[in-house]
Amino acid sequence: MERTLVLLKPDAVARGLTGRLVQRFEDAGLKIVGVKMRHMDADFTRRHYFDLEERFGKDVYDATATYMQQGPVVALLLEGVEAVANVRRMIGPTFPAQAAPGTIRGDFAHMSKAYAETTGKAIANLVHASGSVDEAKYESELWFGDDEQFSYQTLAERYVF
């Protein structure tokens, strides 16, 4: 079993998609072992996206930080078999215009990379998900203390896994 972090970004929260997106993860057999809502201030945004500026440049970091700080996010700590890869597959590619129908981004987000670049805006793509097991460990520890992570058995675990 793995754990991974998913953030329902400000556009998902503002559009009232939180419940529908959580249901998709639970329907896929992923277990919520932590959940919280919060605003990301500048310091926390920098800690979460600690390497974004180095990898993609200041403009990308600034646009992302502005986007993530525009409203509350819902953080989910999910657990399941190969959770990192399964969640990444469920959400689809970073750029919604490239995401297949049936993925979260393919069904609910449609901003293209070209539009984002032309307007200087971050890609409104609804969700963040850890990209690797190591990243999931870092992000999980950043977002959730030991007292905010729960262990319990779901019916799916009992009967399916």
CATH classification of the domain holding 16: 3.30.70.141
- 7 has pLDDT over 80: yes
Active site residues per annotation: 128
In a domain, 160, yes or no: no
pLDDT digits (tens, 9 = 90+) for 74-101: 999 999 999 999 999 999 999 898 999 9
Query: What's the confidence (pLDDT) of residue 43?
Result: 97
Domain that holds residue 76: 2-155
- 111 has pLDDT over 90: no
Query: What's the confidence (pLDDT) of residue 123?
Result: 86
In a domain, 97, yes or no: yes
Give residue 156's pLDDT band: very low, low, confident or very high (50, 70, 90). confident
In a domain, 161, yes or no: no
pLDDT digits (tens, 9 = 90+) for 120-140: 888 899 999 999 999 999 999
pLDDT digits (tens, 9 = 90+) for 13-70: 999 999 999 999 999 999 999 999 999 999 999 999 999 899 989 988 999 999 999 9
Among the listed residues 25, 17, 24, the one whose alpha carbon sits nearest the alpha carbon of residue 77: 25
Q: Is the distance from CB of 143 to CB of 36 less than 8 angstroms?
A: yes
Domain count, the chain: 1
Q: What are phi and psi of 130, to 5 degrees?
A: -50, 140
- 160 has pLDDT over 80: no
In a domain, 16, yes or no: yes
Query: What's the confidence (pLDDT) of residue 155?
Result: 86
